[in-house]
Amino acid sequence: MIRFVLPTMLVLLTTSCAQRPLTPQSTDTVATLPSAAEWLDCLRKTGGTIVSAHRGGPYPGYPENALETIRFVLDQAPNFPEIDISTSADGTLFLFHDDALDAKTTGRGLAAKTSWETLRSLKLVDEAGAISAFNPVTLDDALRALTPHTIVELDLKAPTQASDIVAAVQAQNLSHRVIYIAYNLEQALQWQRLDPLATVSLSVFNWEDWRAVQASAIDLTRAVAFMAFSAPDPTLIEALHARGVEVIFGTLGWENSIDDQIAAGTAPYDYRDLAALGVQIIATDRPIEASADLPPTQCGAPAEP
């Protein structure tokens, strides 16, 4: 395997959120915890890297976007979950990725055409098609359960409105504990207008993207750059760091993703190599395995101190 030759990262053993129960706490307690921006700054300044569990980190028996799955992965490895937000026919925001219910639940038809009363009674289905004992959960309940103990990355799925997600986050005083995903500059600016205290993840795949970001009105102090699907550019990472912007690198994806290549031993680098390049967060479909390849950080997990 090819190794990048870079200075060794400073590391320090810390207590992770893996041992902490996921129980709701008051918003007063939550408000005292480190913000996503502060925690990201710590990772960048100390050379730390942690993983983000794509869709909550599904594993056999644990379907995507289930609270039970997120708990399971947090018990195994320091990470923070990325979750998808859909909207029911009667306006309830809940954790779900697909348009149709058929592949990921025991239901049928479009999620957006189904009432929450029906959705809440469905069972979630894992990656192998096995029916679990777990039900869909509302965004409100997920935020209450998760954000006292970890940062959460939120991915909007149609027909959900950004303003509705922000309203749910702000109702619990949790803006400082979330990262909103933006797929273009317009959406990133919208998130920042709606929630001035939150952090936004925006795509910076290449130098052209980075020049466009710099020419925009994006507040870089509340932004993290997402890269994926090809080899990371060390000079671009260095340029982002020079402006105080942290880097998420996505190894996730479809068949023959970087995750798949690392698992097969055919990738030109592994998770530790990405950390050595200056990546602060590795967004992965293999959060337990990826985390095991990384040293602990001086910043710890994004958890309650």
Tens-digit pLDDT profile for residues 150-202: 899 999 999 999 999 999 999 999 999 999 999 999 999 999 999 999 999 99
Burial class (CB in 10 A: 0-12, 13-18, 19+), 286: buried
Q: Is the pLDDT of residue 218 over 60?
A: yes
pLDDT in tens, 250-265: 999 888 899 999 999 9
- Give the whole-angstrom CA distance, residue 171 versus residue 304: 20
Q: Provide the pLDDT for residue 301.
A: 65
- Give the whole-angstrom CA distance, residue 255 versus residue 138: 30
> Could you give the count of Cα atoms lying within 13 Å of 3 in the half-sphere of its Cβ?
5
CB atoms within 10 A of CB 186: 9
- Integer-rounded Cα radius of gyration of the chain: 18
Tokens linked to 252: 């996730």
Q: Provide the pLDDT for residue 231.
A: 82
The torsion angles phi and psi of 110, rounded to 5 degrees, stand at -85, 135
Q: Which of 9-18, 239-248, 262-271 has the highest mean pLDDT?
A: 239-248
Of the pLDDT bands very low, low, confident and very high (cuts 50, 70, 90), residue 282 is very high
Q: Is the pLDDT of residue 149 over 90?
A: no
| pTM for the predicted model, two decimal places | 0.88
Q: Provide the pLDDT for residue 21.
A: 33
Q: Provide the pLDDT for residue 229.
A: 77
Contact 272, 47 (CB under 8 A): no
pLDDT in tens, 19-53: 333 333 344 444 456 789 999 999 999 999 999 99
Out of 23-37, 198-212, 222-236, 291-305, which region has the weakest mean confidence (pLDDT)?
Answer: 23-37
For the chain, the residue count is: 305
Please name which of 102, 114, 115, 22 lies closest in space to residue 67, comparing C-alpha atoms.
Answer: 22
Find how far residue 190's CA is from the centre of its chain.
19
pLDDT in tens, 82-93: 999 999 999 999
Place of tokens 């029916």: 131
DSSP 221-260: GGEEEEEESS---HHHHHHHHHTT-EEEEE---STT-HHH
End-to-end CA distance of the chain: 37
Any residues with CB less than 8 A from the CB of 159 and at least 6 apart, and which?
87, 112
pLDDT, average across residues 268-290: 95
- Give the whole-angstrom CA distance, residue 145 versus residue 174: 12
Q: Is the pLDDT of residue 134 over 90?
A: yes
DSSP 91-110: S-EEE---SBSTTTBS--SB
Averaged confidence pLDDT in the chain: 88
- Give the whole-angstrom CA distance, residue 200 versus residue 221: 10
